[in-house]
Amino acid sequence: MNLSLQGKTFVVMGVANKRSIAWGIARSLHAAGARLIFTYGRERTEKSVKQLVETLETNNSIILQCDVTSDEQIHTCFSKIKEEVGTIHGIAHCVAFANKEELSGEYLNVTREGFLLAQNISAYSLSAIAKEVKNLELMAEGGSFITLSYLGGERVMTNYNVMGVAKASLEASVKYLASNLGQYGIRVNSISAGPIRTLSAKGVSDFNTILKEVEEKSPLRRCTTPEEVGDTAVFLFSDMSRGITGENIHVDSGYHVIG
């Protein structure tokens, strides 16, 4: 057993730019020798994903569109992956969205539409993808799913609001999917990352204060990096973690243990 992912293929969903946690995961996977497939949601992200992928040393990656709100796009995307590579060994699901207006102030600002949108993109999409992977028998040699969560899915964090409820749903989905897919040799886990300055954090007014609190109060007294999340992803994708499924691993400098 080792951490090399040589000869294995992984799908990384949700790279937006060089600061993305998904890109940190991609770089760690690439360093471990994996072959990569990238998916993006919105057309305007395609160019930036292409430019980033070109910076990788061995650049034989496939880039496909996959709007996770569409079952048809999920089917088309994963069918293409099936055609191109036949078998994959893991998927990094790094996709989330909520309306900006529902990510600050009172939780009661939530609307039915906004609630369902956050659930649809940030939580249901993992189950929809898992279903497609199973139907297409894409993980025929066994495999591993990873998704990204945040502490706001476990406890109330100021302003996280509708996304906190969506992450709670995502973390519960991890457990039910893990239970269902274990019999097929497929593991499902989440990484609860500490706050990182990504596109998703853009516009969060007090983000500096949030980072400062992690620096001051977390056991490791520093902020989380995309590289730390990426290296944990390599572990979760490798056979070294073969006994772990349905788990939520905190990669957050230990911040979650602080009361």
- For the annotated catalytic residues, the residue numbers are 150, 160
- Give min distance, CB of 42 to ligand N5H, in A: 7
Residue from 56, 63, 157, 244 that binds ligand N5H (CB under 6 A)? 157
Q: Which of residues 161-200 bind ligand N5H (CB under 6 A)?
A: 163, 195, 199-200
Lookup: tokens for 227: 């590289």
Q: Which of residues 46-85 bind ligand N5H (CB under 6 A)?
A: none
Cβ-based nearer residue to ligand N5H, 88 or 163: 163
Cβ-based nearer residue to ligand N5H, 159 or 225: 159
Contact between 16 and ligand N5H per CB under 6 A = yes
Residue from 159, 225, 239, 256 that binds ligand N5H (CB under 6 A)? 159
Binding characters for ligand N5H, 123-152, by CB under 6 A (x = yes): ---------------------------x-x
- Give min distance, CB of 159 to ligand N5H, in A: 4
- Give min distance, CB of 164 to ligand N5H, in A: 8
Q: 25 CB contacts (<8 Å, ≥6 apart)? A: 12, 92, 94, 146, 226, 229, 230, 233
Residue from 18, 48, 69, 97 that binds ligand N5H (CB under 6 A)? 97
Q: Applying CB under 6 A, which residues contact ligand N5H?
A: 16, 96-100, 103, 150, 152, 157, 159-160, 163, 195, 199-201, 204, 210
